[in-house]
Amino acid sequence: MTKQWLIIRPKVLPISFHLDRRVPVILLILTLVTIVAMIISIGYGEYPISPIDVVKTLLGLPTANDDYTFIINTLRLPRTIAAFLVGAGLAIAGTITQGITRNPLAAPSIVGVNAGATLAAVTLLILLPNTPISLLPFAAFVGALIVSLLIYLLAWQGGSSPVRLILVGIGFSLIADALTDIMTTFGEINTVSQALVWLAGSVYGRSWSQVLALIPWIVIFGLMALLLTRELNTLNLGDEVARSLGSRIEWQRGLLLLTSVALAGASIATAGAVGFVDLMSPHLGRKLVGASHEGLLPVAAMLGGMLVVVADLLGRVLFAPNELPCGIITAAIGAPYFVYLLINQQK
């Protein structure tokens, strides 16, 4: 036990964490890779900046060109940070969804949560185009929450079966997607064009106001998810085992679902429909550190953030000077991966 696990018990909190000994090393490696990817992403653009000058500017050191400060701090850094936060939020949401449904093919983008958030955000963009950016996460959260509550209620038959949650969620995803198409069909051409770009999933033009609106959601609900990892591990054992251990299954599942909805809704409100990150990140995390959620959650979050940062960079590099939204890149990677997982599940 002691050889495989690190036991962390904070003195000021009545909690403990059991981490696989691989987790700190994997997190360090992923952090370094992510920082390198972010530096390259910040430096790449119509006005290229070397990685050394990017680092100097971020550290406040003098550089050869005074324009670097404006280009990096005002134009490119918010976009890159937004990409990382969106990926981390989606990855945590996906990890929670797969945990409470006990299904490796489940994710907010598949079971209807993302579709509800997208519908609410697109409705707000089209009907009230002058709405402050800070209200978009709340709208997406409300849309995701309403759809999640409907899914939970319709899946309830003396309890919330994970299988019923997934099946009902897929149905609601289709309904919400249809309603989103209706909104874009009858909206004004200017607002619809903005909504369509947003629907593709992009962090283009993201500003500090959007980053600052997203940070509280990721921090608060990310910490909540981390504190609920023990409950998530218990639910993974099955309802009967969880009840025998004294767990309040429906309360825990509902609280975890609310956390997942908040993270997915806020991420979608910032970057639009960035797909498959919530599906891929937990799977990659399990291959690296195992299934225990104390270690899986932070590793999946780092993987998700790194995936979106790299996808945003590839979207600008592959077809330069044209730019592809990062959501198209993640879909191009994630769709084949989903088919691969589906084939493995059938076997």
Instruction: Find, among 50, 19, 9, the residue nearest to 298 by Cα.
Output: 19
Instruction: Find, among 253, 248, 245, the residue nearest to 155 by Cα.
Output: 253
Structure tokens at 131: 């709405």
pLDDT at 337: 79
Tokens 């950016």 — which residue? 133
What is the C-alpha separation between 138 and 322, in angstroms, rounded? Answer: 32
For 68-101, write each residue's pLDDT tens digit.
888 899 989 999 999 999 999 999 999 998 888 7
Q: Which of 2-16, 40-54, 134-148 has the highest mean pLDDT?
A: 40-54
Altogether, the residues listed in the chain come to a count of: 347
Quick one: average pLDDT of 20-32?
90
pLDDT at 180 > cutoff 50: yes
φ, ψ of residue 96 to 5 degrees: the values are: -65, -45
Return the percentage of the chain with pLDDT > 90, whole number.
Answer: 25
pLDDT at 247 > cutoff 70: no
Top pLDDT among 92 and 163 is at: 92
pLDDT at 277 > cutoff 50: yes
What is the C-alpha separation between 114 and 94, in angstroms, rounded? Answer: 11
Quick one: average pLDDT of 156-176?
73
Tokens 């998530």 — which residue? 232
CA dihedral 221, 173, 119, 78 (to 10 degrees): 40
* Torsion 36-38-39-44 (CA) sign: positive
pLDDT at 59 > cutoff 80: yes
Crossing angle between the packed helical segments 162-186 and 136-154, to the nearest 10 degrees: 140
Quick one: average pLDDT of 17-32?
86
As a whole number, the mean pLDDT across the chain is 83
C-alpha 43 chain-centroid distance: 24
pLDDT at 133: 62
What is the C-alpha separation between 148 and 142, in angstroms, rounded? Answer: 10
Structure tokens at 149: 């509550």
pTM of the model: 0.86
pLDDT at 113 > cutoff 90: no
pLDDT at 1 > cutoff 50: no
With contact defined as beta carbons under 8 Å apart, do 316 and 45 qualify?
yes
Quick one: average pLDDT of 244-266?
80
For 307-331, write each residue's pLDDT tens digit.
999 999 999 988 878 888 888 899 8
pLDDT at 125: 78
Instruction: Find, among 67, 63, 40, the residue nearest to 51 by Cα.
Output: 40
Quick one: average pLDDT of 179-187?
83
pLDDT at 82: 95
SS (H, E, C) 332-343: HHHHHHHHHHHH
| Distant-in-sequence, close-in-space partners of 315: CB < 8 Å, separation ≥ 6 | 323, 324, 325, 326, 328, 329
